[in-house]
Structure 1
């Protein structure tokens, strides 16, 4: 389909931007050049996983690359963070949304295949707390980067707290929308959505036997009967 070709084209353009940005930022003494290298490598993870028949959704692959692109290239290299107040909010919410969405999908896959027993409220709470944990870890990395490289990523306490609140917003959006969306999926659609995450769990050694059958028998996956 056309949107698939557009996605691939944009994805490669962002990879090219990372490839160009990395040496430029490092030459300027900006440690974000290292992040550009990491971003470039991360965009190839879905390609690597396809070797194991794990096909991540095209839109998720695009969003991951977009989050890094907005942060490293647009925000840092082109100094949009300094020029536009609030641009930092967008990148934090988007980044947390993506990471939390992956975590939510993995936890929900464990639930529907019978590996864990949790209700949707517990999953919602986990995703929100997970989002805050990821945000806190990122702030620690920024703090250490400022100390080691004498940069000024953390402008002040207010900046850090606003970042954490945006991480919280991203987590709440993911937990609320994601839980509702997954709960209301049924049958083949649900299997298609969770299949990449179930295969990923198996790749990391999680024993999930007859996952497809268990999903089919799960109360949220009973197909509608047409009379």
Structure 2
């Protein structure tokens, strides 16, 4: 009897083990068949990645289009220069003439100093000076410029121009950093340096605007650059910082070749 009971106990134990094994197998099967944590994350990120890819495809311009846009801006600046001459407006003449000259600077740097200026960088520089010059002209047939009729125009041009200034500051600093071991600029410090460089140049620019405006008032001539007060100055500096942050975060990768050319020039190995 005890033997039968023992056998029954063994059978019960075997049955319990089998049941436990089946439950474990079912649970394991459910876990394996369910989505993994990584897969869930990838599934959730898929729409965002697809949207980002679509956005990049919309704004991505090939080199031919970039060159065409830069040339179109140059031709438009020539037209704006003639508008300034026809109006006898010194501000339009000076701003468009300087902007037109700057649009040829990338080609000069690449031809004479062998600094690699791809179409994207050329378009970046051209856009900054073009929008500034266009803002001084405004809509033909009216007396108002875009700077006076559109409140956001000044902010956009300041941010874009500041990004170009930040790019120049980064390129020179990176070239010096690579050229000599006496100077070492860690990435975090480079970020701060770009912002400080942009702010310093922004303050210098505001002083120039103030001086030119004061000189124009004294002489009774039209001001080439205009300052609209303390609030305008503070807003300009804020958007200068915005332009600097954009370059510090996303723009430095596009300036590696240019910084390398500056380093080679400092090393004496550039052509």
TM-score category, normalised to shorter length: 0.7 to 0.9
Give CA-to-partner distance per residue, 1:158-197, whole Å, 9 cap, x none: 1111111111222223223346x58xxxxxxxxxx53333
Structural mapping, 1:18-167, within 5 Å:
18-26=77-85, 27-51=87-111, 52-73=113-134, 75-78=135-138, 79-115=145-181, 116-150=183-217, 151=223, 153-167=226-240
State how many pairs are aligned: 195
Q: Quick check: 1:46–1:56 contact (8 Å CA) kept in 2?
A: yes
* Aligned counterpart, 1:222: none
Select the structure of larger CA radius of gyration.
2
3-state SS in 2 of match to 1:31: helix
Report the Cα distance in structure 1 between the residues aligned to 2:249 and 2:70, rounded to whole angstroms: 28
Please state how far the C-alpha of 1:95 moved relative to its aligned partner: 0.8
Uncovered stretches (5+) of structure 1, i.e. residues with no partner? 183-192, 212-227
Structure 2: gaps spanning 5 or more residues: 1-60, 139-144, 218-222
Give the equivalent residue in structure 2 for 1:207: 267
* Cα distance change, pair 174–4 in 1 and its aligned pair in 2 (3 A): closer
Counterparts of 1:24 and 1:148 in 2: how far apart (Å)? 25
1:220 is aligned to none
- State how far apart, in whole Å, the 1-side matches of 2:74 and 2:250 are: 30
Corresponding position of 1:225 = none
